[in-house]
A = this chain, B = another copy of it.
Amino acid sequence: MMAVPSARAAETRERILSAAAEEFAERGYAGTSIGSIAERAGIGKGLVQYHFKAKVDLAVTLVQATFAQAPFANVVTTDPPPRGIAAIVASIRAVSRAFRDTVRVRAAVRLVREYDIIPVVFPTPYVGWMAVMAQCLRDATDDGDIPPGLDFETEGWHLVATFTGVQETSHRLTQRQDLPERIEEMLQRQLRLFGVVDPERFLRQGSNQAPIS
């Protein structure tokens, strides 16, 4: 019998992906199996395998979906889009919110970190975001918001590396409960390092707003 794509099938597929995301986020790639995903989704193992042949296919689907999507693709959805320092603040807040609130993002990030035990090539993390941050710093310099003389590539590297460490440390010590305040502390320090004139004007709008969705 041929499968007929249907709303029901799409719904089952989403249910499997949600269960897989929870499993991968909590237990990692090695700790997850088609069986544990089926159990969490409350469906049979055969139905999972009808939609996704193997565990690795679920991992790839989750990673691709996350990295194709704002804020990871650095898609800006406000009009006008933020620029310079405002764009850096919006991007870092949006990514940290996504880590904290979205289990599919947490799963994807963990899977990418576990790349060396997963038999597939994932996109290289960090480098795209570093380039975008470097460009924002260049724009901020052009706009007169920071003094000239910054090495944009080096600062972009350290900005992304620092974010990575803040989210990893908050994850390990508080399951990301303190991530929003740690991100604000980090932004204050970074803006000070860049020599931003009057940094508060970029920070006072509050971390619960969503300039990038």
Binds B, one of A38-46, A53-61, A185-193: A185-193
State whether the Cβ of A7 lies closer than 8 Å to any Cβ in chain B. Answer: no
Residues B165 and A125 in contact, CB atoms below 8 Å apart = no
Residues B28 and A169 in contact, CB atoms below 8 Å apart = no
State whether the Cβ of A164 lies closer than 8 Å to any Cβ in chain B. Answer: yes
| Nearest Cβ on chain B to A84's Cβ, whole angstroms | 20
| Nearest Cβ on chain B to A163's Cβ, whole angstroms | 7
Beyond known contacts A27-B117, A164-B164, A165-B168: 18 more, CB 8 A cutoff: A28-B30, A28-B114, A28-B117, A125-B172, A126-B169, A154-B185, A157-B182, A158-B166, A158-B185, A158-B186, A161-B165, A161-B166, A161-B168, A161-B170, A161-B182, A162-B165, A163-B165, A164-B165
Total residues of chain A contacting the partner, CB 8 A: 34
| Nearest Cβ on chain B to A23's Cβ, whole angstroms | 12
| Nearest Cβ on chain B to A143's Cβ, whole angstroms | 22
